[in-house]
Amino acid sequence: MAYKRPESVLVVVYTQAGEVLLLRRRAPADFWQSVTGSLNDGETPAQAARRELVEETGLQAGPEATGVVNRYPILPEWRHRYASGVTENTEHVFGLAVPERFDVRLADHEHSEYCWLDKAAAEARASSSTNAEAIRRLVPDPAKG
């Protein structure tokens, strides 16, 4: 079995009006997240972010690196995907501002639905604390412009 690399990207996609794209994973149940994915062997975080955007949304774009790198424990239900003894993941955070909402082409094997939410609702719905924090930091407040 080929194990996943314990290094990933998180790409927060948001509109100029402050709406945030979230995707609902097929498993675990009711897990909402921004675009995410593990790096492949030999792949840079920027390359992975572009690839994951295409795979998970159909969008061909180059997100911007934020310089934020998180380390967090891998959830027990996902540890079997990693080599024995691997318990932490390193996550590189990216952001992508788009002019307006777009129709997402989901990766059906990975996600069951998507939604566009205002910043506060997206932050509340994001299932991981690092995702909620990235939304809080990256997405502008529409009232502030």
Q: What is the DSSP string of 41-107?
A: TT--HHHHHHHHHHHHH-----PEEEEEEEEEEPPGGGGGGS-TT--EEEEEEEEEEESS-------
Residue whose tokens read 């777009």: 102
Q: Helix, strand, or coil here: 113? A: strand
Query: How much is the pTM?
Result: 0.94
7-42 confidence digits (pLDDT tens):
999 999 999 999 999 999 998 889 999 999 999 999
96-129 confidence digits (pLDDT tens):
999 999 999 998 899 999 999 999 999 999 999 9
Calculate mean pLDDT across residues 59-76: 94
How far apart CA 145 and CA 142 sit, in angstroms, is 5
Looking at domain 7-138, which of 3.90.79.10, 3.40.50.150, 3.10.20.600, 2.120.10.30 is its CATH number? 3.90.79.10
Please enumerate in sequence order all residues whose Cβ is within 8 A of that of 70, keeping only pairs 6 or more positions apart, or say none.
Answer: 10, 90, 91, 93, 130
Mean pLDDT of the chain: 94
Tokens representing 56 are: 């998970």
